[in-house]
């Protein structure tokens, strides 16, 4: 069964610290997709990144970076030099693609989220 | 470009009343999803549509919940009768495709959500 685990419920850091949010996933499929979404205090869900299972290259976007390791089924998210505006709940999500009839691929399975608080 | 639009943003109603939540997906997106977010269960998929046709409604909690998509630019999620345990934030999301191709079009973009409180 598909499952996403974000073991860190809450993290609190001081501005300019680096912080890593962990994400561990379970899937039986060889083709799958991983996502990170941000939910700021205003409540909307903002897409951050999408990664497919064939691409293990790490990605960097400004102060954000993602480390994908299939060997450990992890897709961790690091914020460098954190800022107060980074305070939010961050969700990791998994989507499978199945070539079987009755394909139900594409459903996003979310982790429970990690609430990041960045203090000035 | 306009993102996913949901209305109302907040809804307070009394137990037993009918509640209708509305969603306008991003223009051109073929897939529309309804999610519910609660503290206890987190984010869970209720139902999704492809080209206005419901594909998977296995997440709909019970018969009190129903969803329709009469055209490509509008969907509703109805709860009748509503109960206090239905209190949650309901999100609508849309995408160009489903995960399954090596392209970014499967990414789901979410609306701002409707916060429902049933007293």
| Encoded tokens for A48 | 């951050």
- Minimum CA–CA partner of B42 in chain A: A112
pLDDT number for residue A98: 55
- Minimum CA–CA partner of A91 in chain B: B43
Q: Are A46 and B113 in contact (CB under 8 A)?
A: no
Residue A40 to chain B, least CA–CA distance (Å): 11
Q: In B5-99, at which residue ranges do the beta strands (DSSP E only) sit?
A: 5-7, 10-13, 19-24, 31-38, 42-50, 53-56, 65-71, 74-79, 88-95
pLDDT digits (tens, 9 = 90+) for A46-89: 999 988 888 888 888 899 999 999 999 999 999 999 999 999 99
pLDDT digits (tens, 9 = 90+) for B17-28: 999 999 999 999
- Find the CB nearest A104 among B56, B108, B115: B56
pLDDT digits (tens, 9 = 90+) for A92-119: 999 876 544 455 556 788 999 999 999 9
3-class DSSP state of B105: helix
Query: From CA B102, how far away is CA B108, in angstroms rounded?
Result: 15
Nearest 5°: CA angle at A100, between A28 and B46?
75
pLDDT digits (tens, 9 = 90+) for A14-45: 999 999 999 999 988 888 889 999 999 989 99
- Is the Cβ of A44 closer than 8 Å to some Cβ of chain B? yes
- Find the CB nearest A50 among B33, B43, B107: B107
Query: From CA A67, how far away is CA A45, in angstroms rounded?
Result: 21
Query: From CA A71, how far away is CA A106, in angstroms rounded?
Result: 23
- Is the Cβ of B31 closer than 8 Å to some Cβ of chain A? yes
């Amino acid at each position: 069964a598909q499952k996403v685990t974000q073991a860190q419920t809450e993290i609190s850091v001081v501005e300019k610290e680096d912080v890593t949010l962990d994400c561990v996933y379970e899937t039986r499929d060889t083709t799958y997709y991983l996502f990170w979404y941000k939910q700021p205090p205003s409540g909307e869900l903002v897409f951050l990144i999408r990664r497919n299972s064939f691409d293990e290259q790490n990605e960097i976007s400004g102060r954000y970076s993602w480390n994908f390791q299939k060997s450990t089924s992890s897709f961790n998210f690091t914020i460098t030099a954190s800022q107060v505006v980074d305070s939010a709940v961050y969700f990791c999500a998994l989507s499978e693609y199945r070539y079987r009839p009755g394909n139900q691929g594409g459903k996003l399975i979310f982790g429970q989220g990690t609430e990041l608080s960045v203090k000035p | 470009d306009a993102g996913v639009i949901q209305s109302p943003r907040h809804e307070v109603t009394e137990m037993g009343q009918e509640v209708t939540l509305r969603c306008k997906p991003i223009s051109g997106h073929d897939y529309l999803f309804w999610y519910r977010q609660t503290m206890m269960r987190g984010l869970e998929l209720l139902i999704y549509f492809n080209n206005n046709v419901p594909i998977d409604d296995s997440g709909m909690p019970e018969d009190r919940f129903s969803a329709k998509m009469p055209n490509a630019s509008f969907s509703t999620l109805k709860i009748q009768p509503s109960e206090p345990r239905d209190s949650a934030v309901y999100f609508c999301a849309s995408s160009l495709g489903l995960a399954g191709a090596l392209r970014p079009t499967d990414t789901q973009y979410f609306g701002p959500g409707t916060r429902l409180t049933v007293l």
